Amino acid sequence: MKVSVSGKNIEVTPALREYAEKKIGKLSKHFNYLNSDNLEAQVTFNVEKGRHIVEVTIPVNDIILRGEEETQDMYSSIDLVAEKLEKQIAKFKTRLTKALRREAQRANSLALEEPAEEEEELKVVKVKRFAVKPMHVDEAMLQMNLLGHNFFVFINAETDEINVVYKRKDGNYGLIVPEMM
């Protein structure tokens, strides 16, 4: 696995780079079914107000594994994010396989919920761009959980339309399917 390291508000020392490459590189053992030479992990170090933050993103096929940890020490943050990702991989590896099989066999039957009322003063404070890939609804739900988000935008592989899956307050999932007026 190739590990790319960058820093914000911090000079990445050779020792810090080597430590991150070693710890994050060990995660490639979980991807023995893939050619781990093609995997690339993005590691970003950031120091803000005495907090040492490590963010790791690993795209694997159509999913993105992501972990972030912060402590008072960068090396401790690296250790914690590596542990977090390892648990995340173990948890979702079998779920993803089962979900892909189930999705291929059953029809989409998620209920729709009306969007919430908009507030009067809206302000865009951040714009994110990302590649949208066709995937099944179960894959999108798993991807959303892997990212730790409460919604996920994707192209539905069955309909070839943009959909949004989201986590409801009752713990279930919802699916938004736009319709043209």
Write a three-state SS string for 93-141: HHHHHHHHHHHHHCCCCCCCCCCCCCCCCCCCCCCCCCCCCEECHHHHH
Q: Strands of 51-60's sheet, edge to edge?
A: 2-8, 40-48, 51-60, 63-71
- Indicate where the chain has its CATH 3.30.160.100 domain(s): 2-90
Q: Which residues of the chain carry a pLDDT beneath 50?
A: 107-109, 111-114, 118-119
Q: What is the pLDDT of residue 29?
A: 81
Closest alpha carbon to 132 in 140, 121, 142, 124: 140
Residue 155 DSSP class: E
For residues 16 and 102, give the distance between their C-alpha atoms in angstroms, rounded to a whole number: 43
Q: Is the dihedral of CA 11, 16, 22, 27 positive or negative?
A: negative
Q: What is the pLDDT of residue 103?
A: 63
**Record: fold of 107-176:** SHC Adaptor Protein (3.30.505)
Q: What is the pLDDT of residue 114?
A: 47
**Record: fold of 2-90:** Double Stranded RNA Binding Domain (3.30.160)
* Euclidean distance between the first and the last CA atom of the chain, given in angstroms as a whole number: 47
Specify whether the CB–CB gap between 108 and 175 falls below 8 A.
yes
CA angle 39, 26, 64 (to 5 degrees): 40
Q: pTM above the 0.75 mark?
A: no
> CB count, 10 Å around CB of 103?
19
For residues 55 and 74, give the distance between their C-alpha atoms in angstroms, rounded to a whole number: 11
- Indicate where the chain has its CATH 3.30.505.50 domain(s): 107-176
Q: Which two tokens stand for residue 7?
A: 């820093």
